[in-house]
Amino acid sequence: MSGTLYGVGLGPGDPELVTVRAARLITSAGVVAYHCARHGRSIARSVAAPYLRDGQIEEPLMYPVTVETTDHPGGYRGALDDFYADCATRLAAHLDAGRDVVVLAEGDPFFYGSYMHLHKRLAHRYRAEVVPGVTSVSAAAAALGRPLVERDEVLTVLPGTLDPDELARRLADTDAAAVLKLGRTFPAVRDAFERSGRLSATWYVERATTAAERTTPLSDVDPESVPYFSLALLPGPLNADAEPLEPPARSTDARGGEVVVVGLGPAGRPWLTPEAQAALAEAEHLVGYRAYVDRVPPNPRQRRHASDNRVEAERATFALDLAKSGARVAVVSSGDPGVFAMAAAVLEVASEPGYATVPVRVLPGLTAAQAVASRVGAPLGHDYCVLSLSDRLKPWDVIERRLNAAAEADLAIAIYNPASRARTWQVASARDLLLRHRSPDTPVVIGRDVGGPAETVTVVRLADLDPADVDMRCLLLVGSSTTRWTRTADGHPDVVFTPRHYPPGS
């Protein structure tokens, strides 16, 4: 009954280099653990952010010491041993409770990774799996655009913390080398390369695959500017003279700029389609109404542009201008973007002169109408109409004509935007109009914040529909003459469905 421990490699930093298996495990895990320094920020978590979901338990494993001194009786090593023992105890409590635990690891978990210390303490007691990741060495070679080793050449991987004399000796005896763990060790590492006679052929790669990626000859690097997430790379002799690739522009790719209008569904991550999730992970810019942008987990390589809910055209223009300059833009919309949402606004602006070369894609999302309907059964099981009561973009007399036509046609009706702070009378007017055509006993489903923390779903008679019970977070489903309503007891939700067959002669 115990959970499974997973050491999951995230690769060198770009969320798109996370493997499919790693992404699936991160999303499905009950517990996600990650290492961080005392400031609480975690590079591993930021890489995994596109794959996290609401409701997961997070276990930050905060190092007691990184490069500073410690008064621990066992010194630096003693402090870390106690830290890993405590972390193992915390994770064991989850595993004992039957929860799967994913421990995030930059690069590969068994390649100078902190996960290995937890693995050694837990793998003999619980089922444990390790998911490999792209290493920083592979990422750095790709960033330089040149082969690291070829044919019979030998690659040596060395920590920058090695004794400088030993480091110089090993560099002199190998064909190719990667020296990791730079930062404060950089001056000694540079000196070792120089003493080995290999400095002129060595490259420096910083934060490979991220938006902050930098490549330059090692001899040109300012020691004060070197972060821990950097390495020195010495290609083998067969490729030592090859010219490195120019650093790629991070604001575009082979497809060029584009706008993807993404449907987020009605609430949290469980309602998001894999296609939409992938588009959000690939985007460089997120554009949308503030409440919807906030639903997308932050990603440090992305820029977020949140705005008010009443500026659809301006938002669409902004997104298209970004894409026109070569950026990949996701415009986020609640529910389905083609249902009273941003898809129409973006396509309308995109049809204007000047945007003909900007590709626009629309990715569907689960609509609020379907989400509310699912909570009570199938009230939209036959023909139905979708209608908005908002008169901000169309006059009320048009709404009345359409509502009257839908009622006369005996369609079930999904009513979006029934009320807001500024619109308080439309629900009563719509109810009174519908009562001219429908029985007072017609079921009306009131769904509020479906999928969210404040979700409520109630069913009332059409005659009993009280506008005071309806606000801007609600959606109404009004049954047709054939819609059936079964009231249940013992706290179970009522069942409402519209049969797929229609009575003959009706």
Distance CA 121, CA 487 (A): 55
Phi–psi pair at 450, nearest 5 degrees: -65, 125
Is 80 exceeded by the pLDDT of residue 268?
no
Distance CA 293, CA 288 (A): 6
* Mean predicted lDDT score pLDDT of the chain: 89
Phi–psi pair at 119, nearest 5 degrees: -60, -45
Choose between 64 and 384: higher pLDDT.
384
Confidence band for 251, pLDDT divided at 50, 70 and 90: very low
Q: Between vectors from CA 112 to CA 107 and to CA 115, what angle results, nearest 5°?
A: 75
Residue 488, strand partner residues: none
Average pLDDT of the residues in 366-394? 92
Distance CA 467, CA 318 (A): 37
Is 70 exceeded by the pLDDT of residue 414?
yes
Distance CA 271, CA 296 (A): 12
Spell out the domains of the chain, with CATH numbers in brackets.
Answer: 5-133 (3.40.1010.10), 137-239 (3.30.950.10), 258-366 (3.40.1010.10), 369-497 (3.30.950.10)
Is 80 exceeded by the pLDDT of residue 331?
yes
Residue 70, CA distances (Å) to 74, 78, 80, 106, 227 in order? 9, 10, 10, 25, 22
Helix (H) or strand (E) holding 413: strand 412-416
Cβ atoms within 10 Å of 92's Cβ, excluding its own: 19
Task: Provide the H-helix boundaries in 390-446.
Answer: 396-408, 426-434
Most confident residue range from 46-55, 95-104, 261-270, 353-362: 95-104
Residue 311 has a pLDDT of 80
Residue 225 has a pLDDT of 85
Is 50 exceeded by the pLDDT of residue 234?
yes
Who's near 152: CB < 8 A, 6+ residues apart?
Answer: none
**Are residues 92 and 127 in contact, defined by beta-carbon separation less than 8 angstroms?**
no
Could you read off the pLDDT of 292-330 as tens digits, one per residue?
999 888 877 788 998 887 788 888 999 999 998 888 999
Q: Between vectors from CA 77 to CA 74 and to CA 80, what angle results, nearest 5°?
A: 105
Residue 329 has a pLDDT of 94
